[in-house]
A = this chain, B = another copy of it.
Amino acid sequence: MAQQERAVRTRRAVLEAAATVFAEHGYTAATIADILKTAGVTKGALYFHFDSKEALARGVLEIQADGRVPEQEIKLQEVVDVTMTVAHRLVHDPVLRAGARLSADPIGRGHYGSAWPLWVDVLTEIVAESHRRGETLSHVVPREVAELVVSAFNGVQLYAQLETNLADVEHRVSVLMQHLLPSIASPAVLMRLDVAEDRGARLVREAGLVPASA
């Protein structure tokens, strides 16, 4: 049992080290040697869990797609909350940054795939439930909205990376959501949504949301 627990911890440590290296150097330039050095584990321990750089990238993409947010009275608030917590975690958590960088890499993603479909699934489910509850405008198509939010979010975080090294990513994502929501939410729901730029930070702190890498 203790052995199994240790294996889980080692696997996690390796994935976090891989995320740090991928986030910093990108997939192509990252080496297993760098990842080993960052993880502080033996080559044997790493290869016990992952047999290639590709497998490491896939493992990072799996653990970063963690869309858990506290349940809210207005379901649509949870769409905002997913985007705002991810924006907040991007600044602090290499696992999220690696997911974003790996997914935007046109060479790498031929090998290991992309985080975007995972996030689209997470958001489609929330928007669909919000739609069933009558919170959205009637023309809303949940998957279309989910794809729009994921793709626009990703453009905004890439831009924030370039302009401010992510320092204002939470502000920019808040602006994005403020512009998208009037064509998604019914007016009565719209005015009750909290899209403040510190929403992600508050949720992570107050609701005790544990980042994927903790």
Stoichiometry, copies per complex:
2
A179 surroundings in chain B (CB, below 8 A): 148, 179-180, 183-184
Q: How many residues of A contact B (CB 8 A)?
A: 35
Which DSSP category, helix, strand, loop or mixed, fits chain A's interface? helix
How many Å lie between the Cα of A158 and that of B103 in the bound state?
10
Beta-carbon contact of B159 and A176 below 8 Å? no
Q: Is B175's CB under 8 angstroms from A148's CB?
A: yes
Q: Say which one of A12-20, A62-70, A76-84, A149-157 lies at the interface with B.
A: A149-157
Inter-chain CA distance A184–B176, complex, in Å, is 12
Tell me which residues across on chain B come within 8 A of A151, comparing CB atoms.
Answer: 152, 155-156, 158-160, 172
How far, in Å, is A92 (CB) from chain B's closest CB?
19
